[in-house]
Amino acid sequence: MLAVSVIQPWAWLIVHGYKPVDNRKEPHEHRGPTLIHAGQKFDQAGYDLVRECYPEIPMPAPDAFPKGGIVGVATITDCVTRLNSSWFFGPYGFLLEDAKPLPLVPFRGQLGFFNVPDKALADPRAAHLSEPAEAF
């Protein structure tokens, strides 16, 4: 299954359904269910901005975000260059639907899209990831 790495808190916002677009510098043709991987880094300025602009979003404390693995899944439905959304900064944005958080499955990420081998999905915490794509 394909995955894309996203820095926290953005990964958390995506998998919890608050952020329906993932901003990217380059387009990609992939559409469909995609694992969301949270890298090791944390965007403190982004966190502060979200707390200021969206105080109603109940984000965890900065040190409570899961990092270094798969944290959820979402369906990429399109790649756009314009979007009427405060979450879109571009120049490209992957539109995301059906996002859901998953228990952290430790896994080393990569830049861009990358494959997650079946053996990583054999982790008991990832058992539900091997369901058919329609389940997402």
How does pLDDT run across 104-133, given as a tens digit for each residue? 999 988 877 898 887 776 655 554 444 433
Residue 37 lies in a domain: yes
Residue 135 lies in a domain: no
Residue 16 confidence class, pLDDT cut points 50, 70, 90: very high
The domain in which residue 39 lies consists of: 2-129
pLDDT at 58 over 60: yes
Residue 136 lies in a domain: no
Q: Give dist(CA 116, CA 119) in Å, integer.
A: 8
Q: In what order do the strands lie in the sheet with 2-8?
A: 21-24, 92-106, 69-80, 32-42, 2-8, 113-115
Enter the pTM of the model: 0.86
The total of structural domains in the chain comes to 1
Residue 134 lies in a domain: no
- Which CATH number goes with the domain that contains 63? 2.30.130.30
Residue 19 lies in a domain: yes
Residue 34 lies in a domain: yes
CB under 8 Å to 42, separation ≥6 — which residues? 7, 8, 9, 62, 65, 67
